[in-house]
């Protein structure tokens, strides 16, 4: 299966993403197409974007209830992000 693009998402999700900065849409698509949850570090590496931009986008997506975050019990502890639903 090929990676989904914004046009492949349902209308409501596209509308919600359109209200957010472009980086949030890119982060959402990265998580949507991922084969599992991702940490901030993984997203930063995969997307070649500044950590602060990715973190801001994740917070915005979380505030819009589009992604969820769960703790990962590693040393040091990290959060894992995934698309809700």
CATH number reported for the structural domain that contains residue 56 in this entry: 1.10.10.10
Instruction: Examine residue 31 and state whether it is found in any structural domain, yes or no.
Output: yes
Instruction: Examine residue 61 and state whether it is found in any structural domain, yes or no.
Output: yes
Structurally, the chain folds into a number of domains equal to 1
Q: Where does the pLDDT of residue 74 fall: very low under 50, low under 70, confident under 90, or very high at 90 and above?
A: low
In angstroms, what CA-CA distances link 2 with 17, 29, 34, 66, 75?
A: 21, 12, 11, 21, 34
Residue 65 has pLDDT above 50, yes or no: yes
pLDDT of residue 1: 44
* Residue 7 per-residue DSSP state: G
Instruction: Examine residue 23 and state whether it is found in any structural domain, yes or no.
Output: yes
CA torsion, ordered 17, 20, 24, 29, to nearest 10 deg: 10
Q: Could you read off the pLDDT of 35-59 as tens digits, one per residue?
A: 999 999 999 999 999 999 999 999 9
Instruction: Examine residue 1 and state whether it is found in any structural domain, yes or no.
Output: no
Domain containing 73: what range? 6-83
Instruction: Examine residue 52 and state whether it is found in any structural domain, yes or no.
Output: yes
CB 23 within 8 A of CB 49: yes
Find tokens 């975050």 and name the residue: 69
């Amino acid at each position: 299966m090929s990676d989904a693009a914004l046009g492949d998402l349902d209308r409501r999700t596209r509308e919600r993403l359109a209200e957010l900065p472009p980086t949030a849409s890119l982060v959402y698509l990265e998580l949507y197409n991922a084969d599992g949850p991702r940490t901030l570090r993984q997203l930063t590496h995969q997307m070649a974007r500044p950590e602060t931009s990715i973190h801001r986008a994740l917070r915005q997506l979380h505030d819009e209830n589009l992604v969820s975050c769960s703790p990962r019990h590693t040393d040091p502890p990290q959060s894992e992000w995934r698309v809700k639903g």
